[in-house]
Chain A
């Protein structure tokens, strides 16, 4: 999933303060799963904003709405009416959702309520970890399904650096050394020898380095 984290309330208050009527718009998929922007978070944030502005003696109308996904037109349309009634939208979706909403509602400012952080998983209760950089050229098969591009702080393709100690990364002793995970897993799979192979430099054109990416599916065009 896409993992996000709600922005600090002070930053949000500053962003929405020029507007009298604000819609807090939740997204019911990724950001709901990581407790950043689902229906529950929308309710809590909207209450906090009402309280904060009340305290300031600032009369504002804060309304709430949550759709299944802010990155899919079918669901976005469900929010059209609510958006139309407001001066600004505070979207709790990931960056893609914020932009998709803005693309469809040209006259309404759309503000980000979360910081989109990474593509990851909930490894443990309350612990989210980054797993994928969306490089566009997946090599997980070579590395025992551990992404060294994402999970090695130096993006090393050919083995661990000299800072791997007791299975941990020198950059953050609370982070597993990705290469230790690769080696452990390849050993279990009986494929350790395949790590002797030289991996040549990557072609970064498939990644964001080649500019914003597009995927065109001809078979989907009616």
Chain B
């Protein structure tokens, strides 16, 4: 974390800014405009845009291509890379290609299992796991060598990140896994959407106790709830999601047309708590197919304007 920052996102974090990133899912199609329209909604309100890699195992425009469309708009992308679809040869090759196109942030994931997607009959790869991918990115950055030990002409200096789910089981292993990700090379961590604040805070306390917040920047995950139905669905059906009953009750307790406002209110309360939680360095807003909600959240949370990018 002490060397020259790889990206603007890293630079802001090093400077101690409370950063804001948002998620952008590429389209199920090839229209560049589908990406740039999302970029327009986010421009000026976030420090970096995280572009998913065939999330939920559904075929979409590649993360790499969508990242380039955002770069052309002057936005900073975080490219997601999953180990589900590519072996180590393809992962290294795509990393080099991404770097050559100007991508400087990489989020390393194992990826949603293909059985959740539209092509459950596909073969998965999982040659390496997300922690081994982090180690690969770190090795290439710090030694300028690929996984075979071959010395590359230049070292691709990527700011590597990882995901963490404080709400998954077994809880006692969650911080060990976070430590492993950071030791393997994660400079920033994006968490699963936070609704269960007590559990998140306990996880943060353990992370601080082990000095992990000194070694990596933790961005709290935020997803605005739009309806009681969405809250119920996510609680019951989305893997790794923890939505306490109080939150579902709050969403159900308001008339349908007010549910969006209530969801927004929950978001803002969560962000406020995160700002005051030691070791939290920013928020990552995952407004799935509702990128228009990001600007109002950022403004209402007092996080606008964003610091100027270089």
Binding site for B on A (CB under 8 A): 153-167, 170-171, 177, 179-180, 183-184, 192, 195-196, 198-202, 204
Tell me whether A162 and B240 are in contact (CB under 8 A).
Answer: yes
A154 to B183, CA, bound (A): 21
B88 at the interface (CB under 8 A from A): yes
Contact A200 B135, beta carbon cutoff 8 Å:
yes
The answer to the question of B177 belonging to the interface, with a C-beta cut-off of 8 Å to chain A, is yes
Please count the residue pairs between chain A and chain B whose beta carbons lie under 8 angstroms apart in the complex.
98
Enumerate B73-99 residues with CB–CB distance to A below 8 Å. 84, 88
Interface footprint category on B: 35 or more
Once A170-B113, A170-B240 are accepted as A-B contacts, the answer to whether A164 and B170 lie under 8 Å apart by CB is yes
Which residues from chain B sit less than 8 Å from chain A, CB to CB? 84, 88, 110-111, 113, 115-116, 124, 126-132, 135-136, 147, 163-165, 168-170, 172-173, 176-177, 179-180, 183-184, 192, 239-240
Q: Which residues of A contact B131 (CB under 8 A)?
A: 157-159, 198
Chain A nearest Cβ from B33, distance in angstroms: 33
Q: Which residue, of A165, A166, A195, has the highest number of chain B Cβ atoms within 10 A?
A: A165
Chain B residues whose C-beta falls within 8 Å of the C-beta of A196 in the assembled complex: 176, 179-180
Question: What are the residues of chain B within 8 A of A183 when measuring CB–CB?
Answer: 170, 172-173
The 10 A-B residue pairs with the shortest CB-CB distance, nearest first, are: A162-B165, A170-B239, A162-B240, A163-B239, A158-B131, A155-B126, A159-B177, A201-B128, A162-B168, A156-B129
Residue of chain A at shortest CB distance from B115: A171
Give A198 to B179 CA distance when docked, in angstroms.
Answer: 10
Chain A nearest CB, measured from B234 CB (Å): 13
In the complex the two chains form, is A158's CB within 8 Å of B127's CB?
Answer: no
The main secondary structure of chain B at its interface with chain A is mixed
A72 to B116 Cα, complex, angstroms: 42
- Checking B110, B136, B169, B172 against A156 with a beta-carbon cut-off of 8 angstroms, the contacting residue is B110
B242 (CB) vs chain A CBs: closest residue? A165
Q: How close is B1's CB to chain A, nearest CB, in angstroms?
A: 19
Residues of A within 8 A of B176 (CB): 159, 195-196
- For the complex, give the distance between the alpha carbons of A24 and B172 in Å: 54
Say yes or no: B132 contacts A158, CB within 8 Å: yes
B124, B136, B172, B176: most-surrounded residue (chain A CB, <10 A): B176
Q: Which partner residue on chain B sits nearest A148 by CB separation?
A: B129
CB of B127, distance to nearest CB on chain A (Å): 7
Nearest-CB distance from A137 to chain B (Å)?
A: 14
Contact B88 A201 (CB under 8 A): yes
A107 to B276, CA, bound (A): 79
- On chain B, the residues within 8 Å of A160 by CB distance are 168-170, 173, 177
When the two chains form the complex, which single residue of A155, A163, A167, A195 contacts B129, counting CB atoms closer than 8 Å?
Answer: A155
Chain B residues whose CB sits within 8 angstroms of the CB of A159 once the complex forms: 131, 173, 176-177, 180
Looking at the complex, which one of A158, A163, A171, A204 makes contact with B240 (CB distance below 8 Å)?
Answer: A163
The residues of A that contact B164 with a CB separation of less than 8 Å are 162
Chain B residues with Cβ under 8 A from A157's Cβ?
129, 131-132
Measured between beta carbons, the chain B residues less than 8 angstroms from A162 are 163-165, 168, 192, 239-240
